[in-house]
Amino acid sequence: MVAISIKNLINSQFTVSNLYKKPLLEQWQGLGKIAMNINLNEKQSQSQNARILAHLKNGGRITSLEALNQFGCLRLSARIKDLRDRGHEIHAEFIEVSNGKRVKQYFMEVEHEI
């Protein structure tokens, strides 16, 4: 097994398409879990996190399709995990949509001031 350092990986010809080539994937696996959790779209993810959190804090509920339409978010479950990891208490329930399918809807318990 060939071991590479983070510095060498960053300085290499790294592209997303190379991630799926077996030799590079083996090199990534040698680096452990930290390297496998690199988010190539970190800035966009954080912006989506902020907008989704604001929506939920205002009493909104959201499904994956709504997240795509409202925030351009393709991976709502990943954004919800990010927010939960930061300590936000986000709940989920399955709802039935107009075509009869069941989808997960996320929400926060919001206390309304009187």
Distance CA 85, CA 64 (A): 19
What structural domains and CATH numbers belong to the chain? 6-36 (no CATH), 42-107 (1.10.10.10)
Q: Which two tokens stand for residue 107?
A: 């929400």
Per-residue confidence (pLDDT) for residue 35, from 0 to 100: 45
Q: What are phi and psi of 92, to 5 degrees?
A: -140, 150
**pLDDT tens-digit series, residues 20-76:** 455 555 555 555 544 445 555 666 778 899 999 999 999 999 999 999 999 999 999
What average pLDDT score do residues 74-86 get? 94
Which pTM value belongs to this model? 0.61
3-state secondary structure of 16: coil
Mean pLDDT computed over every residue of the chain? 77
Q: Which residues contact 112 (CB under 8 A, 6 or more apart)?
A: 59
